[in-house]
């Protein structure tokens, strides 16, 4: 049985997808589509843009205006699209390497402009498409094919990065917390400005195997056991929070949006004419 | 003075031409000696309802104009040597995804940071082969301010007509000099817009071509067609494919759409070639020096003439072949240490003597130097 | 004067010589002549030695740069020292009164208090470039004086028209006395 969501929003003939058994990306993608469905947008007004990597294959499966770009550049393409046609709801799907390494500069500047784009990172802590190299979110000490003796890089907290750069909506969920993904994406799309949502995924094929994290079920269980919602964390003692990571809505503010500001400039001259 | 006659800088004429051609989106990053193009675009675009954005880097600027073009806006970016290197990644994307856009490269001395404020013509080969893989490209190169205006319009027209990135190769001399320009009336300017699909929604295959026409009609994002665009090898549906048959078919069509339309794309100027025994091949600002040198040579009774490629890529191979059968020697003069000369040699070498005369020290080659070379021959 | 005249306007960055070159070229267009203006770019355009070059011709202008000029304006000693050797035989050298001209045969030298006229008579050294244009016109009569007057008014900032008009006339007077 094909679910109604898949029938309505997926390019059914493009399936099955390329993701490995046990990969978290499918759950995340479905949760995003659910958010779009609940918001009731017309498919023609949604534009989904991606870069390169496992996550970036997502737009090809979706029945929207879709663009699969070059490595790291999704936000730069998306900025052109949003500037040129502000009526489009622009969503960027990206991965940890795509967004935080090669695309890191585009991320901070899109956030700084507060341009109305919702960016969703599928963070699996590894370069999956190329076979398991360490990424900017691979925890220190963990292994990748290019960190055979353990990764000595300090990893990014992507949400802190986006917030510091100027994003006006920031949140984190995991592939286990699918309902939370939908909630955050809904709020993110509705935020008139740059929204950043980190979705912690699982990569049993590379990250899991390299680092002895067990199978996909074990990795999902890890997400379940170690993620604490920021609301719950506020009333928790330090001991309970030790070694855990936060999920939920982290930051929200109202700031002037980039395309609105540019339209004000255009309007000055339209009055003149 | 007629209102339409003005003293104008090359970079300014480029923006005037772009806006006349319908440019409504510009993304760029500051770099000498192309910066005026960004500055003037920033000033003029909002006045015509267009958009300007200064992106965080050159790569992002190239990406942004492709994004904007996919929504239907005619888009341009401008840069110079080091920035042109950075843009190559997404120039390749525009080639394979067939997204119309114009890239202005004001050539300066290289390699690397090189000579930022001095002219050069060292990016001739990079304009052709700068991005990886087999790909189509059109590159035009003006040698006056007025021609910069005209060729910017033509760049947009060719880009829209063939769904290909078009490179406008200026050099620092043409970009920065001011000279007389008579802006033509709007009615006298030919504007070409991309062909739009006539299919019903649902039947649109974004890379499907019909008959002889090798260029697929192009929908815009937001119009209802909901198509997919990728930098991967793709079939007519726009979705990726690993099939060698699909790959071969796509790449061949991308190359052929330029190759079979060369007659429409190629333009050139011939000066005093009728009875010439020595032909100079030169383009951009160097062609101006060559013209002076030819006048001086003619005064001395030397039969010299100029072949000036205006479309630099694809190369005017048939015309150069014809030329090589009429003259004894072709001298290719360029502000580099030998790039276009090898292409000319490939075409003309079997019929006549081909020699190169170049320099890469940041100084425009003078008419006297070219005259000396003519006399030497 | 021959059909093609090449000018080099030189001095210190900030003296407005680029603008002076543009105005001179625009005046030539008003006379239905051809003109090409080029200038120095980069660090030197922001304070060091600066030059603006103009070629005026009845015919098409191919090679756009000035090698040996027919006319050299030098407002500073450094500019004069640097560019004097590239003045043609029988060329015209116009210098500010502060500039010492080294020996050179076969040139015509005109020395005027250009900078002082701007600062003392007009009361604003910013208009030195326009005083210089007045002197150039007075010495060379290269364009029609009315065309040059119009070209100046078209280019100078709004509100400074009178000041610049006066600057031009004072410069013109210097050369015609």
CA distance A63 to chain B (A): 7
| Mean pLDDT by groups of 10 residues along chain A of 273 residues | 85 94 97 97 97 97 98 98 98 98 98 98 97 97 97 97 98 98 98 98 96 96 97 90 95 98 96 67
Indicate if the pLDDT at residue B85 is higher than 70. yes
Query: For chain C, what percent of residues have pLDDT higher than 90?
Result: 86
What would the mean pLDDT of B45-50 be, rounded to a whole number? Answer: 98
Nearest to C63 among B172, B179, B367 (CB): B367
Residues of B in contact with C62 (CB under 8 A): 288-289, 291-292, 295, 367
Stretch among A139-143, B70-74, B137-141, B207-211 having the lowest mean pLDDT: B207-211
Closest CA to B12 of B32, B34, B28, B36: B36
Residues of B in contact with C39 (CB under 8 A): 176
Test B178 with C38 for CB contact under 8 angstroms: yes
CA distance B286 to chain C (A): 8
CATH number for C94? 3.40.920.10
Residues of A in contact with B102 (CB under 8 A): none
Residues of B in contact with A269 (CB under 8 A): 46-47, 49
* Mutate which: C63, C68, C147, vs B, most B CBs within 10 A: C63
Q: What tens digit of pLDDT does each residue of B242-297 get? A: 999 999 999 999 999 999 999 999 999 999 999 999 999 999 999 999 999 999 99
Collapsed DSSP state (helix, strand, coil) of residue B210: coil
CB within 8 Å of B288: residues ≥ 6 apart: B143, B144, C62, C63, C64
Spatial contact of B149 and B13, defined as CB atoms under 8 Å apart: yes
Task: For the beta carbon of residue C103, count every other beta carbon within 10 angstroms.
Answer: 4
* Mutate which: B71, B94, B206, vs A, most A CBs within 10 A: B71
Kindly report the average pLDDT of chain B as a whole number. Answer: 97
ipTM confidence:
0.96
Test A60 with B66 for CB contact under 8 angstroms: no
pLDDT of residue B2: 57
CA distance B66 to chain A (A): 7
Q: Does C contact A via 3+ CB–CB distances below 8 Å?
A: no
CA distance B216 to chain C (A): 42
Name the one residue in this structure whose structure tokens are 């103009």: C54
Test C29 with B1 for CB contact under 8 angstroms: yes
Nearest to B226 among A63, A78, A81 (CB): A63
What CA–CA distance (Å, rounded) separates C118 from C139? 18
CB within 8 Å of B188: residues ≥ 6 apart: none
Closest CA to C24 of C152, C120, C131: C152
Q: Give the residue numbers in C contacting B (CB under 8 Å), as ranges.
A: 22, 25-26, 29-30, 34-39, 41-42, 61-65, 67
Residue of C nearest to B172 (CA): C41
What CA–CA distance (Å, rounded) separates C24 from C17? 10
pLDDT of residue C43: 58
- CA angle B312/B253/B59 to nearest 5° reads 60
Q: Which two tokens stand for residue B137?
A: 């490209």
B230 touches chain A (CB under 8 A): yes
Domains of chain A, by residue range, sit at: 4-272
Residues of B in contact with C29 (CB under 8 A): 1, 5-7, 180
Q: What tens digit of pLDDT does each residue of C97-108 get? A: 999 998 888 999
pLDDT of residue C102: 87
Residue of C nearest to B145 (CA): C36
What CA–CA distance (Å, rounded) separates B311 from B168? 9
Closest CA to B69 of B43, B48, B98, B41: B98
Test B64 with A262 for CB contact under 8 angstroms: no
CA distance A171 to chain B (A): 25
Predicted TM-score (pTM) above 0.90: yes
Spatial contact of A207 and A135, defined as CB atoms under 8 Å apart: no
Test B179 with C39 for CB contact under 8 angstroms: no
Cα Rg of chain A (Å, integer): 19
CA distance A231 to chain B (A): 36
Q: How far is CA B293 from CA B177, B277, B337, B374, in A?
A: 20, 15, 20, 8
Architecture, CATH, for domain B5-188:
3-Layer(aba) Sandwich (3.40)
Which helix H or strand E contains B248, and what residues bound it? helix B244-259
Closest CA to B56 of A115, A136, A48, A50: A115
Q: Does B contact A via 3+ CB–CB distances below 8 Å?
A: yes
Q: How far is CA B283 from CA B2, B183, B269, B287, B299, in A?
A: 30, 23, 10, 5, 23
pLDDT of residue C103: 82
Collapsed DSSP state (helix, strand, coil) of residue A16: coil
Give the orientation angle of helix B145-162 with respect to helix B10-21, to 10 degrees. Answer: 40
Residues of C in contact with B33 (CB under 8 A): 41
Spatial contact of C59 and C3, defined as CB atoms under 8 Å apart: yes
Q: Annotate A31-98 with three-state secondary structure.
A: HHHHHHHHHCCCHHHEEEEECCCCHHHHHHHECCEEEECCCCCHHHHHHHHHHHCCCCEEEEEEEHHH
CA distance A256 to chain B (A): 16
Residues of A in contact with B131 (CB under 8 A): none
Statement: A4-272 belongs to CATH 3.40.50.620:
no
Q: What tens digit of pLDDT does each residue of B331-363 get? A: 999 999 999 999 999 999 999 999 999 999 999
Test A70 with B51 for CB contact under 8 angstroms: no
Spatial contact of B50 and B11, defined as CB atoms under 8 Å apart: no
Domain containing residue C58: 4-176
pLDDT of residue A167: 98
Residues of C in contact with B285 (CB under 8 A): 64
Residue of B nearest to C66 (CA): B366
Residues of A in contact with B67 (CB under 8 A): 49, 67, 76-82, 84
Domains of chain B, by residue range, sit at: 5-188, 269-376
Q: Which two tokens stand for residue A160?
A: 């802190």
Test A88 with B228 for CB contact under 8 angstroms: no
Per DSSP bridges, beta strands C87-96 and C69-74 are parallel
3.40.50.920, 3.40.50.620, 3.40.47.10, 2.40.50.100: CATH of B269-376: 3.40.50.920
Kindly report the average pLDDT of chain C as a whole number. Answer: 93
Q: How many domains does chain C divide into?
A: 1
Residues of C in contact with B335 (CB under 8 A): none
Q: Chains with ≥3 Cβ pairs under 8 A against C?
A: B
pLDDT of residue B268: 98
CA distance A220 to chain B (A): 31
Test C41 with B33 for CB contact under 8 angstroms: yes
* pLDDT class of C1 with cuts at 50, 70, 90: very low
Task: For the beta carbon of residue B274, count every other beta carbon within 10 angstroms.
Answer: 9
Report phi then psi at C13, rounded to 5. Answer: -60, 140
């Amino acid at each position: 049985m094909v679910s109604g969501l898949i029938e309505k929003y997926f390019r059914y003939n493009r399936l099955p997808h390329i993701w490995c058994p046990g990969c978290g990306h499918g759950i995340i993608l479905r949760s995003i589509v659910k958010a779009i469905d609940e918001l009731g947008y017309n498919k023609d007004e949604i534009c989904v843009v991606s870069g390169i990597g496992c996550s970036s294959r997502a737009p090809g499966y979706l029945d929207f205006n879709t663009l699969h770009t070059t490595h790291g550049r999704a936000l730069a393409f998306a900025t052109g699209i949003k500037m040129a046609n502000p009526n489009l709801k622009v969503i960027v799907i990206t991965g940890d390497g795509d967004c935080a390494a090669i695309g890191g500069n585009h991320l901070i500047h899109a956030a700084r402009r507060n341009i109305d784009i919702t960016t969703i990172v599928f963070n699996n802590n590894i370069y999956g498409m190329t076979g398991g190299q360490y990424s900017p979110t691979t925890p220190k000490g963990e292994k990748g094919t290019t960190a055979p003796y353990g990764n000595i890089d300090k990893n990014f907290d992507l949400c802190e990065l986006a917030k510091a750069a100027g994003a006006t909506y920031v949140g984190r969920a995991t592939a286990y917390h699918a309902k939370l993904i939908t909630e955050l994406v809904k709020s993110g799309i509705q935020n008139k400005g740059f929204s950043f949502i980190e979705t912690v995924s699982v990569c049993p094929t590379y990250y899991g195997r390299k680092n002895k994290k067990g199978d996909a079920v074990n990795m999902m269980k890890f997400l379940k056991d170690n993620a604490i919602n920021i609301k719950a964390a506020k009333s928790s003692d330090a001991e309970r929070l030790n070694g855990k990571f936060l999920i939920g809505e982290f930051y929200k503010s109202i700031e002037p949006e980039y395309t609105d500001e540019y339209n004000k400039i255009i309007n000055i001259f339209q009055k003149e004419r | 003075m007629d209102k339409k006659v003005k003293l104008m800088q090359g970079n300014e004429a480029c923006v005037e031409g772009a806006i006349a051609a319908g440019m409504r989106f510009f993304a760029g990053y500051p770099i000498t000696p192309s910066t005026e193009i960004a500055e003037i675009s920033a000033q003029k675009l909002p006045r015509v309802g267009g958009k300007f954005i200064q992106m965080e880097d050159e790569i992002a600027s190239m990406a942004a104009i492709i994004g904007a073009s996919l929504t239907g806006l005619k888009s341009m970016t401008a840069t110079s040597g080091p920035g042109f290197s950075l843009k190559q990644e997404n120039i390749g994307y525009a080639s394979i995804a067939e997204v119309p856009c114009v890239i202005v490269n004001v050539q300066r001395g290289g390699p690397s940071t090189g000579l930022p404020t001095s002219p050069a013509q060292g990016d001739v080969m990079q304009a052709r082969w700068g991005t990886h893989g087999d790909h189509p490209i059109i590159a035009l190169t003006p040698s006056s301010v007025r021609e910069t205006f005209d060729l910017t319009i033509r760049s947009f027209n060719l880009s829209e007509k063939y769904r290909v990135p078009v490179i406008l190769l200026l050099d620092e001399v043409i970009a920065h000099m001011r000279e007389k320009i008579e802006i033509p009336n709007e009615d006298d300017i030919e504007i070409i817009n991309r062909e739009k699909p006539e299919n019903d929604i649902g039947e649109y295959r974004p890379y499907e071509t019909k008959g002889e026409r090798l260029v697929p009609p192009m929908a815009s994002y937001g119009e209802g067609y909901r198509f997919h665009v990728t930098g991967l090898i793709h079939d007519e549906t726009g979705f990726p494919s690993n099939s060698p048959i699909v790959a071969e078919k796509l790449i061949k069509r991308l190359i052929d759409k330029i190759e079979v339309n060369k007659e429409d794309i190629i333009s050139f100027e011939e000066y005093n070639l009728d009875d010439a025994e020595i032909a100079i091949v030169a383009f951009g600002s160097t062609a101006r020096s060559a013209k002076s040198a030819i006048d001086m040579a003619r005064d001395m009774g030397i039969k010299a003439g100029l072949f000036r490629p205006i479309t630099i890529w694809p190369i005017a191979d048939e015309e150069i072949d014809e030329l090589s059968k009429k003259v004894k020697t072709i001298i290719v003069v360029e502000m580099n240490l030998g790039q276009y000369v090898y292409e000319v040699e490939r075409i003309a070498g079997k019929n006549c003597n081909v020699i190169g005369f170049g320099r890469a020290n940041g100084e425009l080659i003078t008419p006297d130097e070219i005259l000396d070379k003519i006399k030497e021959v | 004067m021959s059909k093609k005249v090449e000018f080099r306007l030189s001095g210190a960055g900030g003296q407005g010589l680029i603008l002076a070159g543009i105005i001179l070229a625009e005046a030539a267009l008003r006379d239905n002549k051809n003109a090409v203006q080029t200038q120095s770019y980069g660090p030197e355009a922001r304070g060091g030695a600066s030059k603006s070059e103009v070629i005026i011709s009845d015919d098409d202008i191919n090679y756009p740069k000035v090698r040996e000029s027919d006319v050299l304006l030098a407002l500073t000693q450094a500019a004069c020292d640097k560019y004097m050797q590239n003045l043609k035989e029988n060329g015209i050298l116009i210098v500010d009164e502060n500039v010492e001209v080294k020996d050179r045969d076969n040139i015509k030298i005109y020395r005027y208090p250009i900078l002082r006229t701007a600062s003392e008579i007009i009361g604003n050294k910013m208009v030195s470039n326009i005083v210089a244009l007045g002197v150039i016109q007075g010495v060379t009569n290269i364009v029609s004086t009315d065309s040059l007057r119009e070209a100046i008014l078209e280019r100078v900032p709004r509100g400074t028209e009178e000041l610049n008009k006066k600057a031009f006339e004072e410069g013109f007077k210097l050369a015609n006395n």
